[in-house]
C-alpha cells in the first residue's frame, strides 16, 4: 500500500467535495448480502467509461461516461499512482453512522491482479484491515484524511479484507472515490 497526503493540487481540491456532492447521481441501492436484501449504509454512484459494468453484492452498475467533474480527478489519480483506471465507485458517507463492511475488491471484472486507488475527501475516517484467512480481528488501521490517496496493490486484495466502520463522533460527510480498472468493460450481450 502507498498513501499520498494532499494528493490533489489545491486548485482541484478546493471545491471538489461540494461539486461531487451536487453533480453526481448519488443513490442508496439495495444489495444482496448472504442471501438477504439490505439498503447500503451509505450513498453510492458508479461512473466511468461508457458501457463499463461492475457487479457486486447482487447489483450490476453500468457507467454512462465520465462526468466532467471527474475527468481532472481521474487524470490526477492516474498521474500520481502510475496506473490506468476506467471506472470509479463513489461512496458518500453522510456522517459516522454510514459505513462499509469487511470485503475485498476481488470481483471477476477486476481481473486477477486488481490495483485500487482510493481518494478520500471530507471527514477523516478509520480504514481498517483484517486477514482473509478467517480472522475476525482487525490487524491494521489507517486514518484517511481529507485529500489522501491510498493505492492498494493486488496483494492487499488477495490477503486482506478492509472496512470503514461506524464512528459515532464523526458528524461531517466523507466522499470516497475508489478508482478501478474493469478488465472486461463491455456488456453487449
pTM of whole model > 0.75? yes
Distance CA 133, CA 138 (A): 12
- pLDDT at position 185 is 53
Distance CA 33, CA 188 (A): 27
Kindly report, residue by residue over 2-28, the tens digit of the pLDDT.
Answer: 999 999 999 999 999 999 999 999 999
Average pLDDT over residues 144-161: 95
Question: What residue ranges do the domains of the chain occupy?
Answer: 2-180
Q: 3-state secondary structure string, the chain? A: CEEEECCCCHHHHCCHHHHHHHHCCCECCEEEECCEEEECCCEEEEEECCCCEEEECCEEEECCCCCHHHHHHHHHHHHHHCCCCCEEEEEEECCCCCCEEEECCCCHHHCCCCCEEEEEEECCEEEEEEECCCCCCCCEEEEECCCEEEEECHHHHHHEEEEECCCCCCCCCEEEEEEECCCCCCCCC
Which overall architecture, per CATH, does domain 2-180 show?
A: Sandwich (2.60)
- pLDDT at position 188 is 45
Average pLDDT over residues 122-129: 96
- pLDDT at position 158 is 92
Kindly report, residue by residue over 77-107, the tens digit of the pLDDT.
Answer: 999 999 999 999 999 999 999 999 989 988 8
Kindly report, residue by residue over 50-60, the tens digit of the pLDDT.
Answer: 999 998 777 88
Confidence of residue 70 (pLDDT cuts 50, 70, 90): very high
Amino acid at each position: 500500500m502507498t498513501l499520498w497526503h494532499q494528493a490533489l493540487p489545491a486548485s482541484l481540491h478546493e471545491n471538489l467535495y461540494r461539486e461531487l456532492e451536487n453533480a453526481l447521481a448519488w443513490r442508496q441501492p439495495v444489495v444482496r448480502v448472504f442471501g438477504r436484501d439490505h439498503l447500503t449504509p451509505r450513498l453510492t454512484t458508479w461512473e466511468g467509461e461508457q458501457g463499463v459494468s461492475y457487479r457486486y453484492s447482487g447489483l450490476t452498475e453500468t457507467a454512462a461516461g465520465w462526468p466532467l467533474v471527474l475527468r481532472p480527478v481521474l487524470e490526477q489519480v492516474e498521474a500520481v499512482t502510475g496506473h490506468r483506471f476506467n471506472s470509479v465507485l463513489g461512496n458518500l458517507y453522510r456522517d459516522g453512522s454510514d459505513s462499509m463492511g469487511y470485503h475485498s475488491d476481488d470481483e471477476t471484472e477486476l481481473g486477477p491482479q486488481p490495483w485500487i486507488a482510493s481518494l478520500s475527501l471530507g471527514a477523516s475516517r478509520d480504514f481498517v484491515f483484517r486477514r482473509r484467512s478467517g480472522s475476525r480481528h482487525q490487524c491494521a488501521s489507517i486514518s484517511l484524511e481529507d485529500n489522501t490517496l491510498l493505492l492498494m496493490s493486488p496483494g492487499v486484495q488477495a490477503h486482506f479484507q478492509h472496512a470503514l466502520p461506524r464512528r459515532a463522533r464523526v458528524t461531517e460527510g466523507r466522499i470516497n472515490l475508489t478508482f478501478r480498472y474493469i478488465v472486461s468493460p463491455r456488456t453487449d450481450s
